[in-house]
Amino acid sequence: MAQVIADRRDIDFVLYEQFDVQTLFDCDRYRDLNRKACDMVIDAARDFGIKEILPTYAAGDREGIRFDAGKVTVPECFRRPHRLFVENEWIAMTEDPDLGGQGLPHVIAKAANEYLVGANFAFTAYATLGHGAGKMVELFGTPEQKALFLNKLYTGRWGGSMLLTEPEAGSDVGALTTTARPNPDGTYSISGNKIFITNGEQDLTENIIHPVLARIEGAPAGTRGISIFLVPKYWVETDGRMGAFNDVVCTGVEEKMGLHGSPTCSLTLGGGGKCRGWLLGEPNQGMRIMFHMMNEARLDVGFQGFSHATAAYLYALDYARQRRQGRDLAAGKDANAPSVPIIAHPDVRRMLMWMKAYVDGMRSFLYYVALAFDRKETAADAERANYWQDLIDLLIPVVKSYCSDRGFEVCTQAMQVYGGYGYTREYPVEQLARDCKITSIYEGTNGIQAMDLLGRKLAMRKGGVFMDFLAAVRQTAEEAGKIDALGALAAAVGDAADAMEKSALALAKQAGGPGLKVAFAHACPFLDAMGDLVVAWMLLWRAKVASPRLDALCAKAKNPAETVASNRQAAFYDGQIKTARFFIRSLLPVTRGRIQAIVNAEGGAVEMDEKGFGGL
d(CA 391, CA 273): 45
DSSP string of 534-594, one letter each residue: HHHHHHHHHHHHHHHHHHHHHHTSS-HHHHHHH-HHHHHHHHHHHHHHHIIIIIHHHHHHH
**CA distances to 342, 354, 429 from 413, in Å:** 15, 9, 9
Instruction: Please name which of 44, 53, 57 lies closest in space to residue 111, comparing C-alpha atoms.
Output: 44
Tell me the β-bridge partners of 214.
227
d(CA 530, CA 395): 9
d(CA 352, CA 371): 28
d(CA 527, CA 395): 10
d(CA 308, CA 532): 19
Measured in whole angstroms, the distance separating CA 128 from the mean position of its chain's CA atoms is 13
d(CA 476, CA 176): 46
DSSP string of 449-467, one letter each residue: HHHHIIIIITTGGGGHHHH
Tell me the β-bridge partners of 160.
209
d(CA 359, CA 313): 8
d(CA 18, CA 13): 6
**Catalytic status, residue 17:** no
Beta-strand pair 226-232/208-216: antiparallel
Question: Which residue type occupies 381?
Answer: D
- Catalytic residue selected from 87, 443, 602, 607: 443
Measured in whole angstroms, the distance separating CA 115 from the mean position of its chain's CA atoms is 14
d(CA 188, CA 183): 5
* Largest distance between two CA atoms of the chain: 89
Q: Are 97 and 154 in contact (CB under 8 A)?
A: no
**Rg of the chain (C-alpha set):** 25
d(CA 150, CA 183): 24
Beta-strand pair 208-216/179-182: parallel
**Which residues are part of the catalytic machinery?**
443
